[in-house]
Amino acid sequence: MDASEFQVSSALKSTGATSDLTDREKHLIGLAVTLTRGCHFCTSRRMDEAQKSGIPYDTLKATVDLSAAVNAGVVLRTAISSADLAEIDQSCQGDECVVGT
């Protein structure tokens, strides 16, 4: 099986064709998504296309930094909410509960 067997749906193509976002915004959002998903090939392609479209390297770095910060916030909030739901602070009694503190 090779990549030529896969086709992008018309819905996906039309989403990218929106005039409500600039090409710059589309590049940076796409980069943030691929960074978040952890796809090296997609991220590399998006960085290359963004630079070829005139987006400066410093802007790409800022997008990486912001994506990492947002992801860190999501991870932290998810962990806190999950611990609260499980009342983990009340149920954890062993030495593993204090690791890193």
The pLDDT tens digits for 1-48 are: 566 666 666 656 666 788 899 999 999 999 999 999 999 999 999 999
Kindly report, residue by residue over 49-75, the tens digit of the pLDDT. 999 999 999 999 999 999 999 999 988
Q: Domains of the chain by range and CATH?
A: 22-87 (1.20.1290.10)
DSSP the chain: --GGG----HHHHHHHT-SSS-HHHHHHHHHHHHHHHT-HHHHHHHHHHHHHTT--HHHHHHHHHHHHHHHHHHHHHHHHHHHHHTTHHHH--SGGGGTT-
| Measured distance CA(75)–CA(69) in Å, rounded | 10
pTM: 0.69
